[in-house]
Amino acid sequence: MSQQQSAAPATATTTVARRRDWWRDAVIYQVYPRSFADSNGDGMGDLEGVRSRLPYLRDLGVDAVWLSPFYASPQADAGYDVADYRAVDPMFGNLLDADALIRDAHELSLRIIVDLVPNHSSDQHEWFKRALAEGPGSPLRERYHFRPGKGANGELPPNDWESIFGGPAWTRVADGEWYLHLFAPEQPDFNWEHPAVGDEFRSILRFWLDMGVDGFRIDVAHGLVKAEGLPDLGGADQLKLLGNDVMPFFDQDGVHEVYRQWRHVLDEYAGERIFVAEAWTPTVERTANYVRPDELHQAFNFQYLSTDWDAKELRTVIDRTLEAMRPVGAPATWVLSNHDVTRHATRFANPPGLGTQIRTAGDRELGLRRARAATLLMLALPGSAYIYQGEELGLPDVVDLPDEVRQDPAYFRGAGQDGFRDGCRVPIPWTREGSSYGFGGGGSWLPQPAGWGELSIEAQTGVAGSTLELYRTALRVRRTQSDLGAGEAVEWLRAPEGVLAFRRGEFVCVANTSGESVTTPAYGRVLLTSGEVTEAGGEAKLPADTTVWWTTA
């Protein structure tokens, strides 16, 4: 138990609608707490801020809220370096705030999913500090990956692995040994071969389940188990191989036994609690291994997230995803943005590709038009969908942050991830005017650009055609149309080049990814469209980068 004041256990099903298999078609909203809402005016978002904005999320129409880490942490990697898994970092509040947030969410029929970071801890975790103090050969060092170095005097790292953030994946300590960190040096990897690690995390699961959470998003779910002997990669360009091949430190088969044990813990609790895997694997078929019936419930579909706005490529990944999930009985998941990637309103701008930095009004307009169309396509697909805070406002990445305000550790290491994740983490605007556009009363931890208020919730609420109202309508229609949500397949329809068209019962979705207007059949009554569509003589004219929902009923 942490030093913080504990809270009485909450029941996850207090007033949350008891809908069986709710997670199969859930729309889950990711809250990045430091950038969502600031209740105390210190410039940093917090749990009380999230709690105060829960009615907005209910009215938006989502089913659950996923909270990025709020645990006690030195914040070397925005809270993904956890020092105490049973404490709330004071910058976000305390355990009583977490308890109140969970209870209020349940009263509003929202479920709460919390981040869990089992691949690594902070270097300020009590275990790691004791491991350093006790020296080579101590029992605590066995809970991490400490190794002697290579070379005549152990001056070389134990193997050739690189950090995902760039640079070597090993750091040498004062007594000469090295420890493994696949991410920042402040994030030493746990040794999941040691039974104490598994025991500890099963206890952590129960702690938060007793608090009433409805599930866990598992950070680096593919990374816990390393290949025996920690073999060299042999000079391969590791960073280019990531996501394309099974690596000796990622997606090892042994990780699945960990999740089978975790599933037993979760099944002790009522209320259909769930696990969601952040598992970067080479293929959707490998991802499906994580969601077999006795393991996890969902896994993020990174293959879909990384697909360009292109009909042929999208159809391929949609088909492969549905085919891969069908044998294991798991729902597909669909996601376009999160806290680690360029927002899709920027990513889909010309020229296409991850990391695109839009510079002109034309780029911004194109990116937003494609983002709106992509959202309707995503929400029409069978399964569950994830929304990243601010995408419902059409927020772009903030691409011109000064170097001195950046906090992404990958940026400072100059390699690995693109290092510009701060751009998608700028606090979101709630109002047209005021300090930090309604985020809080004391500015914001990352500077917001001029004009941010014109994209705010206040500015878009009730405005016909706004991106916010598009999301609200889409989620309402998705909930009321029986042919939307859960499912295993789509029926593809003939369509012009650059166009995706599919049927699900009496529902039809047509997405024009091309750069030109196209003519398609008018499939019935228009339910929703991301842009202006004209109909005449049984035909419909779709502008470039537009998605339409029809019902044939």
Active site residues: 219, 278
Gap between the terminal Cα atoms of the chain: 56
Instruction: Compute the Cα dihedral for 427, 430, 431, 435 and give only its sign.
Output: negative
CA gap 102, 97 in Å, rounded: 9
Closest by CA position to 365, among listed 220, 543, 218, 524: 543
DSSP lists the bridge partners of residue 84 as 72
Residue 493: how many other CB atoms lie within 10 Å:
16
Please name the helix (run of DSSP H) or strand (run of DSSP E) that holds residue 4, with its range, or none. Answer: none
Q: Yes or no: say if 322 and 304 are a contact pair by the CB < 8 Å rule.
A: no
Which CA distances in Å does 420 have to 98, 171, 344, 428?
30, 24, 14, 17
Per the CB < 8 A criterion, the answer to whether 78 and 70 are in contact is no
Q: Which of 505, 515, 512 is nearest to 530 (CA)?
A: 512
Nearest one of 216, 215, 284, 220 to 255, comparing CA atoms? 220
Ranges assigned E (strand) in 117-176 = 146-147, 170-172
The C-alpha atoms of residue 38 and residue 346 are separated, in whole angstroms, by 26
If DSSP codes are grouped into helix, strand and coil, which group holds residue 274? strand
Residues 526, 548 contacting (CB under 8 angstroms): yes
User: Minimal CA–CA distance to 457: which of 472, 479, 476?
Assistant: 472
The conformation of residue 167, written as its DSSP 8-state character, comes to S
Phi, psi of 306 (to 5 degrees): -90, 10
Alpha-carbon distance of 532 to 543, in angstroms, equals 7
Query: Which backbone phi and psi does 470 adopt, to 5 degrees?
Result: -60, -45
